Amino acid sequence: MDGTINWGMIGCGDVTEKKSAPSFNKIEGSSLIGVTSRTKDKAVSYAARHGIPLVFDTAEQLLADPRINAVYIATPPSSHAEYAISAMRAGKPVYVEKPMATTYRECLKMNEVAAQTGVPLFVAYYRRSMEYFLRVRELLEGNEIGKPFLCQSRLLVAPRAEDHRKDDLPWRVVPEISGGGYFHDMGCHEFDILMFLFGEVETAEGMAGNFGGLYRPEDTVIASVRFEGGMLYNGTWSFAVPENSTCDEIEVTGESGSMKFSCFAFTPIEVVNPQGRKTYAVSPPEHVQLPMIIAIVEELRGRGRSPSHGDTAARVNRLMEKILGKST
């Protein structure tokens, strides 16, 4: 793309306040110039706080405005496919929040339109661009633990206060809006970074249950996966554990050592091998999506390539559906 990439943002929820939206104006050749929300007052307030010059009444108006030449979709997953497809058909590159859509089938439709139109489609699996996970990848590729053959992860989270509000549950546990529950919302990040580190999945299966009874979708999941390179993976997720049982840990065992790191807590990376024990502390940036958005802007300007696109992101939805026994 020639000239400045002028972004329009659809949705202005919590994820945009610090994680993503401020990044667009901190990158050369990029500017966030427009925003819309289902609630006009919310969009007006957001634009005033963040110095965004244009507020649109509807997403359709934003997509039709010639001043907008790229679109960031920050709505819940139930509208990702609709808005992304409309934007691509309008010739405007899309950066969509994760998970890519509520179902793998919707992901395929989005990718079909991207292929038909030739318009780039990016997905916010921003861990692929973060220094923390790039360091993990560097250590693996540097043979610090030998060839990995086993990976195990545990993400155990206590229920949030809002999970107890039966008549006003958070959208993340309303399947019609989110596509599932917290496994869908948080597990997707874990699966994406594992595929970034270890490649494609060969087989997968799992079991799930709801033990807290706070909402409809599953709150506890276990999965068994074989990667194409042969590595075996076992994962456990529960969003119904007591406060004193929380955990966020990924452990990789190789032929000559092991490595521990986390998906959300950014705990120091720990490597144990015949040379001893080493730790690597890598803090996340102020705006965690900034490195990914830099990569996207660089690709749009013909200077690089983003590590996360619709094709890589769709595989995450497919994997989650396999684990939960849903048809794809």
Query: Splitting the chain (328 residues) into consecutive groups of 10 residues, what average pLDDT does each group show?
Result: 93 94 97 96 95 97 98 98 98 98 98 98 98 98 98 98 96 97 98 98 98 98 97 98 98 98 98 98 97 98 97 98 87
What is residue 84's predicted lDDT score, i.e. its pLDDT?
Answer: 98
What is residue 304's predicted lDDT score, i.e. its pLDDT?
Answer: 96
Rounded CA-CA distance 201/315 in Å is 9
Instruction: Determine the distance from the C-alpha atom of residue 326 to the mean position of all C-alpha atoms in its chain, rounded to a whole number.
Output: 21
Task: Answer whether 193's CB lies under 8 Å from 263's CB.
Answer: yes
pTM of the model: 0.96
Domains defined along the chain, listed by start: 5-125+288-307 (3.40.50.720), 131-284 (3.30.360.10)
What is residue 56's predicted lDDT score, i.e. its pLDDT?
Answer: 98
What's the count of helices (H) and strands (E) in the chain, helices before strands? 11, 14
Rounded CA-CA distance 19/236 in Å is 26
What is residue 1's predicted lDDT score, i.e. its pLDDT?
Answer: 82
Rounded CA-CA distance 156/198 in Å is 23
What is residue 77's predicted lDDT score, i.e. its pLDDT?
Answer: 98
Residues in the chain: 328
